[in-house]
Structure 1
């Protein structure tokens, strides 16, 4: 079954900005675009080096129960400009109905201007399994044991 993500435009959002969409047939992520307030549409939103901002998409979404949307960076923005997402992957839960904002950060050495309508992140729809968490007196043994960060190799 293909889940349907219902999209609602916020008041004042530019209806000319496309809804999230897949750029290629095999794409896992649907690109979401910046939908800036009317006063910023001409100039864009500039992120100084090290700065972060919540960039509006102009959307609210309705995700079916049993699914989430993971918000992931676009590799081209990261590779070419050092612009990525602060909380990645971000999670949008199925019961959230607020504005979809994209928390971006400029890790590059030059200011970066987010243009109105620019593709700024990818949305990956994924199934969710909720687990039951239970207290335990002990855990089963494994070959790895308690080895953590870097314990299985270099780094």
Structure 2
């Protein structure tokens, strides 16, 4: 699949894969200088790129596991969604889960982009839903089955 991408600045970096089988493409911080994130602070970090997501797909912005584990930095919205009709700059909402100040440096890999198909559905309002064995048992209810 070919994805059209536009660099919005001279310093922007095109997303890269860490390995030939990686599902995600690393997104880079397009910064002129380092940005500080205080404990539990959230900021939008620019990437300097815009993409054309194909019809029937969306771009999922996920955490980089190493950055989350080592620095406790993650997307503030947990998973970002880039809709196929959005062609503006990709900004990564980054949150510092640690108790210490963290630094995001220029050209640092901050998140990963995964192109994912989705189904377009229509909702049909009904008075009752079909009965299932589980029914309305929610949060934690399947733990008893293990």
* TM-score class normalised by the smaller sequence: over 0.9
Contact persistence 2:15–2:26 (CA under 8 A): yes
Q: CA deviation at 1:20?
A: 0.6
Q: CA deviation at 1:18?
A: 2.6
Cα RMSD of the aligned pairs, angstroms, is 1.2
Match for residue 91 of structure 1 among 81, 91, 95 = 81
Match for residue 130 of structure 1 among 120, 123, 134 = 120
Q: TM-score when scaled to structure 2? A: 0.93
Moved over 4 A (4+): none
1:71-150 aligned at under 5 Å gives the runs 71-150=61-140
Q: TM-score when scaled to structure 1? A: 0.88
Match of 1:35 in 2: 30
Identify unmatched segments of 5+ residues in structure 2.
none
1:153 alignment partner, SS class: helix
The one-character-per-residue Cα deviations of 1:84-127 (angstroms, maximum 9, x if unpaired) are: 11112111000001111000000112111111000000101011
C-alpha distance in structure 1 between counterparts of 2:21 and 2:124, whole Å: 39
Q: CA deviation at 1:150?
A: 1.0
